[in-house]
Every structure is written in structure tokens, then in C-alpha cells.
Amino acid sequence: MTTSEENYLKAIYHLTHLMPKGVNTNAIAASLDTKASSVTDMLKKLAEKELVTYQKYQGVNLTELGKLSAKMIIRKHRLWEVFLVEKLGFAWDEVHEVAEELEHIQSEKLINQLDQFLGFPSYDPHGDPIPNAKGEISIVDKWLLAEIEVGQKVTCIGVKDSSADFLKYLDKQNIALGTTLQLLEKESFDGTLKIGIGNQVLVISDKIANNLFVK
């Protein structure tokens, strides 16, 4: 597959979670910052390769082959993110764009060797699950911090928003994967939370709480 085809498969895979009955072309166009007409042309190519099923005005779905192909792209992306953070000292807000380029390397042997070298990690630096070589994904129960009851102690296990700005904000607040948080107070008016991290007390917005996964 071409780089463009891989980008489309990955975008459709992620959008399927929001549109399980069929992803529309406008959503794909917005995700990839391209024109709807370009999306239609690409969907026809992917359909010819039996990677998607597509009918005009009815959306697009990945075939089983398409799902597996998308998972393998995501697998490469997330393994490279682990490598960049653990072995090369990148910060978790620096790795996404680099991994976007590395994910298109086609060597299956390289990726399997990379997986072994890293100790077969289950999650990337943002807490997202890494598909194994068969496309299987480990799913862990998780909640948004905004859903937790006052008094509960939880552990940060991932982020919903992996933008560099959000990750930098978390770094400033000393919040990382594995950080233990306790919800001390919850403001009913606007959802503002007061949380305890060790001896530190933080006040965070509802927007932050709705982008932080905990268990």
C-alpha cells in the first residue's frame, strides 16, 4: 500500500468507533484535511483492493482485511512511540509526528524485532493499547477522571487528547501515566475538580478531567 492508502485506513479505523454504522466521506476529509472528492476517489481504490466496503451516500466500512491492515499500521506507530520515549529519550509530547513517518516502514521483520527488543509492550507512552502481531488488542477497563466519585483514589492510565499542548500541561502538573490521584472535591456548577497528588493539591477544569483516563 501507498502511504496515502495507509493514512486513509488508519483514519477510517479510528472514525469507526464514532460511526459504527458507516464512516461518511466528510468525516474522513476533515480528519485528513483533504477534499471530499479526493476521499471518494481513494475509497474506490481501497474497495478494489478489498480493504473497505463502500457505497455512495451510505458510508464506508473496513473489511476484515482492512481492519487487520489498519491495526498493523497502528501497531507500528505505537511501537515506534515506545522506542522513541524509552530508548531515545523523547518526551511523550514529541513522538507523534516522528512516529507518523516511521509507521510507513514496510518491513514486518523489523517491526517484530522491534516489538521483541522493547519487551512486547502492551501500551504506548500515551496509554493506548498496542496490537500484537496477530492484530489482537488488550483492552483494560478505564474511566474518565470526570466520571469518578469524590473520595476515590485512581491511577492515570492514558489520555483522550494526545496533543502536544495537553501533554505539556500534564507535565507541568506532574501528571503522568502511573500517577495516583485522589478526587477531593467536585464543583457541580462547572465540573471543576480539586485533586490530590501526594502532598500537592490541584484545581483542574472539566475539560482536563474529560481528557484523562484513569482506573
The pTM assigned to this predicted structure is: 0.86
108-117: Cβ within 8 A, 24+ apart: 111/75, 111/76, 111/79, 114/79, 114/80, 114/83, 115/79, 117/83
Q: Which CATH class is domain 3-62?
A: mainly alpha
- What gap in Å lies between CA 155 and CA 142, rounded to an integer? 10
Task: Tell me how crowded residue 192 is: count the other CB atoms within 10 A of its CB.
Answer: 16
Residue 56 pLDDT: 78
Residue type, 149: E
C-alpha cell at 92: 511523550
Residue type, 111: I
Query: Could you say which of 3.40.50.1820, 2.60.120.620, 3.40.50.720, 2.30.30.90 is the CATH number of the domain covering 143-214?
Result: 2.30.30.90
Domains 3-62 and 143-214 share a fold: no
Residue 139 pLDDT: 83
Residue 162 pLDDT: 86
Residue 68 pLDDT: 97
Topology of the domain covering 71-139: Arc Repressor Mutant, subunit A (1.10.10)
Residue 81 pLDDT: 97
Residue 58 pLDDT: 80
Residue 209 pLDDT: 96
Residue 180 pLDDT: 96
In the chain (215 residues long), the average pLDDT of successive 10-residue segments reads 95 92 92 91 95 88 97 97 97 95 95 97 95 92 94 95 92 94 94 93 95 96
> Where are the domains positioned within the chain?
3-62, 71-139, 143-214
